[in-house]
Amino acid sequence: MGHLDHAAFGLLTPALSYVMAVIGAALGLRCTVRALGTTGRSRRNWLITAASAIGTGIWTMHFVAMLGFAVRGTDIRYNVPLTILSLLVAMLVVGAGVFWVGFGRDRGRALLIGGLATGLGVASMHYMGMAALRLHGSVHYDPLLVTLSVVIAVVAATAALWAALNIKAPVAVAVASLVMGAAVSSMHYTGMLAVGVEVTPAGGPLPGASAMQFIFPLAVGLGSYLFVTSAFVALSPTVSERAAYTSAGLPADPEAAAAEAHGPATTSPTTTPA
């Protein structure tokens, strides 16, 4: 049995991964709140941005945390196509849950189905990312802890969507994001506690890319996307805020008005909304 280290760089990777999870959750919740206040194309665009933010935040959280994962006696590499597929799965399945909430007529039913879909998306991303792991040995899992991690993911996702439906104040959204970030991180480390590795003697070089060759640059790029998009959403006034500016005799920002009217641009997952 190989010795597993989940924090090879100390508290750096757990803390940074938590920050990524919080930013993704905050941006996703804020965009969902914006979406529920609009209709048509605007709602669709805000929901796409919400799904990409939550999916990107969760994926970045997972792989930043994995930068600190080490197994004594073997190097670790990652299958590149499977790792990228895990990102796409996260955004698509989370998107399905967010859209169900955004367009569902029955809010209670939409919340349950959306929370289940989003939670399963989070769990699918995690275990698909783990399937991309390449090392000298075999990986096995504790079924009980795996089940617990999936339950945590579903409960966390449902709670986050409930917050999006019922919490409008920015401060309350911030608190909900902190809780969501903690829940997603708990899901990740519960899933990692389920992992066991049987190390075998090295049989040659491992296929795939190292974390620093592939995961780190991609995580930095996606993290930058989250920060830039968060700044846009935070600084873009809502319809009600612009109405307050107008009633107070202050000029409304025409660019912000256009963004709110049509939602963020959705030409590509890494395009900053405009």
pLDDT in tens, 60-105: 888 889 888 888 888 888 988 998 898 888 888 888 888 888 887 7
Is 246 among the domain residues? no
Count the Cβ atoms, other than its own, within 10 Å of residue 182: 15
pLDDT of residue 53: 84
Is 268 among the domain residues? no
Query: Between 239 and 112, where is the model more confident?
Result: 112
Contact (CB, 8 A) for 101 and 111: yes
Is 232 among the domain residues? yes
In DSSP notation, 152-176 reads HHHHHHHHHHHHHHH--SHHHHHHH
pLDDT of residue 164: 75
The terminus-to-terminus CA distance of the chain in angstroms comes to 51
Amino acid 139 reads V
Query: Between 82 and 220, where is the model more confident?
Result: 82
Measured between alpha carbons, how far is residue 131 from residues 24, 128, 144 in Å?
Answer: 23, 5, 18
Is 272 among the domain residues? no
C-alpha torsion 22→25→27→31, nearest 10: -160
Is 51 among the domain residues? yes
pLDDT of residue 274: 37
Is 139 among the domain residues? yes
pLDDT band at residue 267, thresholds of 50, 70 and 90? very low
CA distance 22 to 179: 8
The interaxial angle of helices 216-235 and 12-36, nearest 10 deg, is 40
Contact (CB, 8 A) for 1 and 61: no
pLDDT of residue 272: 41
Is 75 among the domain residues? yes
Query: Between 213 and 70, where is the model more confident?
Result: 70
Does the structure show a pLDDT above 80 at 266?
no
> How much of the chain is in helix, strand and coil states, percent to nearest 5?
70, 10, 20
- Residue 134 bridge partners (DSSP): 77
pLDDT band at residue 114, thresholds of 50, 70 and 90? confident
Phi, then psi, of 77 in degrees rounded to 5? -130, 170
Q: What's this model's pTM, rounded to 2 decimal places?
A: 0.77
pLDDT of residue 236: 64
CA distance 68 to 90: 21
pLDDT band at residue 2, thresholds of 50, 70 and 90? low
* Domain hosting residue 164, numbered range: 9-241+253-262
Domain count, the chain: 1
Element (H, E) at 5: strand 4-5
